[in-house]
Chains A and B, each alone.
Chain A
Amino acid sequence: MPRTLFDKLWDSHRIASDESGEDLLYVDRVCLHERTGGIALESLEARGLPVRQPGQAFCTMDHVVDTRPGRGDRTSIPGGEAFIARTRRGARAFGIRTFDIGDAEQGISHVVSAEQGIALPGLSLVCPDSHTCTLGALGALALGVGTTEAEHALATSTLWLARPASRAVVVDGVLDSGASAKDLALHLIAEHGADGAEGAAVEFRGSAVRALDVESRMTLCNMAVEFAAATALIAPDAKVFDYVMGRAHAPPELPLDDWRRLRSDDGARFERTIRIDAAAVDARVTWGTSPAQGAGVTGRVPAPRDGDAQRALDYAGLSPGDLLSEVAVDAAFIGSCTNARLSDLRSAAAVLRNRRVAPGVAAICVPASTPVKRAAEAEGLDRIFREAGFEWRESGCSLCFYAGGEGFAPGQRVISTTNRNFEGRQGPGVRSHLASPAVVAASAIRGRISTPGML
């Protein structure tokens, strides 16, 4: 019987099923970070249990670490140093490779996992972080879990899970040059809701998805959790194989015969298929407190459909009919596992070159990993950011969610390349607007929400 890519990945990791409907899946890689890794490791220690496969586990310092230049363990997050120190100690005790502060390969977990070849086509990977689905862009079965399940995966190399349904999101046509993978994701979520995937595994398909470069595919898959997807997938192709080749933990000879079979069979049945015309996707921005509450940058704030939307507008300080391109911003943030890879920084820098951030706008760029930062500096992007008036930081999750203990001030309006515009996400009372790196850069320059074309 023809199978979906998701079903193939699931079947190849299924050890057993129990009578109550869950499958026991083999976990090839476990990734931890200091926000919850220390808790999981100490809990194992307290029970006297070993990490079953320490060589298959990795740890990053990203969630709590400071991102200001010259950083050490000190961080303004309350109690932050203990999260770093105890995770470091636990990882060392169990022999887990840690991408620590000062490590040349440090960065945000999902970015490091891709860069270091920890996530590969056909592997299963869990991480106590909801954006783990990013790695489905490589054809990995990548699952975000809680701390207790991460602990379970460390102790047993397995995860219990009921098989979610497979759904397809087919994007055909050609994305406009002003629209990116982020815009596509925000468009999809706005059209189908923040719970649009209803817990299914989503495979992104179609010519517009195949046309995306690997980093853009990661952006698209990253946002799938904001769509209530169990995880996201894109069938790996030659672009992915090229991307993976030569990565530190990738095999010297890629098992291409196996990997080429990682695609949904012709005739495989999806529980549901959503179709999107890529040509209908424009440069977008969110106006509310859910990633689903968004519109085109050239559009207006819509009339609220329900009490939740009204509450979101009240929080955002906006009114129905407001022209989004007239909304002034106090800050611009380029960072996070969604949109701070090299191609994102290039896209922002192309807008920032020979321009200056509008007076009064605080602008911050936090590369998604130390290798991204290094590569950006090698091609002079840091200079473009700095000359435009952006702060240029060390890598980490940073202002995406008050990581490092930094937030914006109450009532401030931030345009951000991140993934969540939830109430209080970037600090109490902070109004977050999600957009692509190009839109964030253009908005920083104009001081109002903008596309590059409006400059």
Chain B
Amino acid sequence: MEPFTRHTGVAAPLLKANIDTDAIIPSREMRRVSRHGLAEGLFANWRYADAGARRPDPTFLLNQPAYAGASILLGGANFGCGSSREHAVWALAEFGMRVVVAPSFGAIFQKNCIANGLLPAVVAEGEVNALARWVESDPARHRLTVDLVETTIHAGTEKTPFAIAEAHRFRLIEGLDPIRYTLERADEIAEFEGERFAAHPWVRLPEGA
């Protein structure tokens, strides 16, 4: 996974609360047994006037030239709530998003972001709105810089701090492979498991049950 330290890009404000993962990518857009090929389905219900024909809806923000190449999304509270589908994060990342800034996130979505190098930055609603106003006044030039080392968002000369769990920050900065990281503790896991099975034999199911 690509380590994340600092990113500058065009930011697109989609400030509706409770933007769910069905909105981020509808189920019918998840067409292949793959983490790839999903960007086209991103926000399909909003982005296309006719999703089947892929005819864009010019009123949708990400279709507007001023937001071309947007890589930072500003969202409302409880962003990414709903279905656990990691496809929502895969689609955002493949589309080119590196950061989502919102007052709060759906818990599973937030962890899926970390697993895929997408930064979920928590910023209070009033401050997200302030960032959005600044961006909207000149989207192409008013780019945001998100610094994960300092945990701040730079909007021109203004700095807005954001929150992220230390464990998540660490994983993003290191670009860790989580399975490899955990398997370094294989012995500890086996020992815990052995004790658990010994104390509660019913927990263990026979293989091929």
Contacts and interface: CB of A to CB of B under 8 A. Distances in A.
Q: Interface of chain A, helix or strand or loop or mixed? A: loop
A56 B207 CA distance: 7
B78 interface: yes
A325 interface: no
Contact of A16 (B32, B77, B170, B188): B188
B209 A55 contact: yes
A130 B167 CA distance: 22
Interface stretch (A205-213, A267-275, A364-372, A420-428): A420-428
Contacts of B165: 20-22, 162
Given A146-B111, A160-B178, A428 B51 contact: yes
Contact of B78 (A120, A158, A195, A424): A195
Most chain A beta-carbon neighbours within 10 Å: one of B34, B84, B185: B84
B162 to A, nearest CB: 17
Interface in B10-34: 16-18, 20, 22-23, 26-28, 30-34
Interface string A232-262: 0000000000000000010101010010000
A168 to B, nearest CB: 19
B208 A95 contact: yes
A428 B45 contact: yes
Interface in A342-356: none
Given A55-B206, A195-B78, A428-B45, A20 B170 contact: yes
Most chain A beta-carbon neighbours within 10 Å: one of B106, B178, B182: B182
A100 interface: no
A4 interface: no
Contacts of B170: 20
A123 B77 CA distance: 32
A47 B179 CA distance: 11
A194 interface: yes
Contacts of B22: 401, 420, 422-425
Interface string A428-447: 10000000000000000000
B89 interface: yes
A78 interface: yes
A82 B209 contact: no
A195 B18 contact: yes
Interface string A75-97: 00111001100110000000101
A26 B189 contact: yes
A424 B26 contact: yes
A16 B169 CA distance: 19
B166 interface: yes
Interface in B77-94: 77-78, 81-86, 89
A420 B112 contact: no
B193 A157 contact: yes
A20 B167 contact: yes
Contacts of A276: none
B60 interface: no
A266 interface: no
Contacts of A28: 203
A146 B183 CA distance: 19
B107 A228 contact: yes
Nearest to A23: B167
A152 B116 CA distance: 13
Contact of B77 (A36, A56, A195, A422): A195
A423 B45 contact: yes
Contact of B167 (A18, A83, A194): A18
Contact of A97 (B193, B204, B209): B209
B23 A147 contact: no
Given A158-B182, A198-B104, A228-B78, A146 B89 contact: yes
Interface string B119-132: 00000000000000
Given A195-B81, A420-B20, A255 B200 contact: yes
Interface in B194-209: 196, 200, 202-209
A453 B78 CA distance: 36
B108 interface: yes
Most chain B beta-carbon neighbours within 10 Å: one of A24, A35, A251, A424: A424
Contacts of B115: 146, 148-149
A258 B107 CA distance: 30
Contacts of B104: 195, 198-199, 228
A170 interface: no
Given A78-B31, A158-B189, A195-B81, A255 B202 contact: yes
A20 B114 CA distance: 14
A422 B20 contact: yes
Contacts of B111: 145-146, 149, 161
B23 A424 contact: yes
Given A130-B108, A147-B86, A228-B81, A152 B182 contact: yes
B28 A24 contact: no
Contacts of A204: none
B35 interface: yes
B66 to A, nearest CB: 21
Given A130-B84, A424-B22, A78 B193 contact: no
B84 A402 contact: no
A254 B69 CA distance: 58
For the complex of A and B, 10 pairs with smallest distance between CB atoms:
A251-B202, A55-B207, A146-B86, A20-B167, A146-B112, A148-B115, A195-B78, A424-B45, A22-B167, A130-B84
Given A21-B165, A155-B182, 10 more contacts: A28-B203, A56-B205, A77-B28, A120-B202, A147-B35, A149-B115, A152-B178, A194-B18, A420-B22, A424-B26
29 contacts: A22-B165, A35-B30, A36-B86, A55-B209, A77-B28, A78-B28, A120-B202, A122-B200, A130-B84, A144-B84, A146-B86, A148-B178, A149-B115, A156-B179, A161-B111, A162-B167, A194-B78, A195-B18, A195-B81, A195-B104, A225-B82, A228-B81, A228-B107, A255-B200, A292-B18, A308-B18, A401-B27, A424-B22, A428-B45
